[in-house]
Amino acid sequence: MTHFIRYRSGASACYGILEGDTVREIRGDLFGDYTETVAILNLSDVALLHPCQPGKIVCVGLNYRSHVGSRPVPEHPEIFFKPVSSLQDPEGPIVTPPDSTDMHYEGELVVVIGRQVKNASADQAREAIFGVTCGNDVSERNWQHGPAKDMQWWRAKGCDTFGPLGPAIVTGLDYDTLLLRTRLNGEVVQKQYTSDLIFDCPTIVSYISRWIALMPGDIIYTGTPGATRKMSPGDVVEVEIEGIGVLRNPVT
C-alpha cells in the first residue's frame, strides 16, 4: 500500500508519499508519471491539504443497507454532485452557514479516479480506480428534506467546507471490506463495513461512466452508513477508515 498526501510546506503545495511520520516529496503527475525528489520532511512540519484537486465531485445517496432502513432499496446508484468549492482540508473547520439549523455529518469512503473512463465494464472500472480516501459529505437536512428544502441540493450538500477529504489517498488497499467509523466528540456514531454497500465501488464507477466521462483526479463519495445527527459549533467530527487514517474537522 502507498499513502499519497498533498501538503503545504511554506508557501508551496506539494504531493508526497507518507511513511509513518515521514513525507517524501514527489513531483510530476500523481496519476501518471512522477518522480521522488530528495526532499524528506517530518509530517509534523507540514499542513495537510485535501489529497487531490478533482475536476468534479460525484456522490451516491442511499448506498448502505444500514442507511436505507425501511425505505425501498435503490435499483441503481442514486447520483448527485457537490461543487469542488465545498472541499475542506483535514483539520480545516466545517463552517456552519447562515440560517443552518440541522447540519449533519456523513462519514464516507471516497473513490479517486486514476485514468479517464467512459462506458466502462465493472472490471474496467476497477482498473480505473487509483485509490481511496476518507470523506465527510456534510449535509443540511432542513435544506435537503425539510420545510425549507430546495429543488436541488446545491445548499444542502454544496456549501463551502461541506466536503472534508483526506488525510491520504491509499493505493493497493482492498476497499470492499473496510471498517468505517465516524466519531462526534469522541463518541462512535457510525460504524459499518464497506461490505454493507448496496453498490460497490466498481459498479458505481461503471454506472456513472455510462453518461459522464470520469477523469484522473475526479472523486466519488460512495454513501454513508447507519444514522446521522446534528453537529453544532464546538463539535469535532472524525471519519476513520481502516488502512487509510483519520479525517478530523472541528465545527465552527
pLDDT in tens, 85-119: 999 999 999 999 999 999 999 999 999 999 999 99
Residues 173 and 99 in one domain: yes
Average pLDDT taken over every residue of the chain: 96
Residues 28 and 55 in one domain: no
Number of folded domains that form the chain: 2
Residue with cell 508519471: 33
Q: What is the mean pLDDT of residues 173-192?
A: 97
- Asked if 248 and 90 touch (Cβ cutoff 8 Å), the reply is yes
Return the pLDDT at 177.
95
Structural domain harbouring 32 = 1-49
Convert the pLDDT of each residue in 207-251 to its tens digit.
Answer: 999 999 999 999 999 999 999 999 999 999 999 999 999 999 999
Please classify residue 73 by burial: count the beta carbons closer than 10 Å to its beta carbon, then call 0-12 exposed, 13-18 middle and 19+ buried.
exposed
C-alpha–C-alpha distance, residues 49 and 249, integer Å: 12
Residues 85 and 206 in one domain: yes
Please classify residue 38 by burial: count the beta carbons closer than 10 Å to its beta carbon, then call 0-12 exposed, 13-18 middle and 19+ buried.
exposed
C-alpha–C-alpha distance, residues 238 and 14, integer Å: 24
Residues 135 and 231 in one domain: yes
For residue 17, what is the domain's CATH number?
A: 2.30.30.370
For residue 201, what is the domain's CATH number?
A: 3.90.850.10
Residues 123 and 29 in one domain: no
Return the pLDDT at 69.
75
Residues 185 and 134 in one domain: yes
Q: What is the pTM of this model?
A: 0.96
C-alpha–C-alpha distance, residues 189 and 204, integer Å: 26
Residues 62 and 41 in one domain: no
Convert the pLDDT of each residue in 34-91 to its tens digit.
Answer: 999 999 999 999 999 999 999 999 999 999 888 877 778 889 999 999 999 999 999 9
Residues 36 and 21 in one domain: yes
Residues 23 and 118 in one domain: no
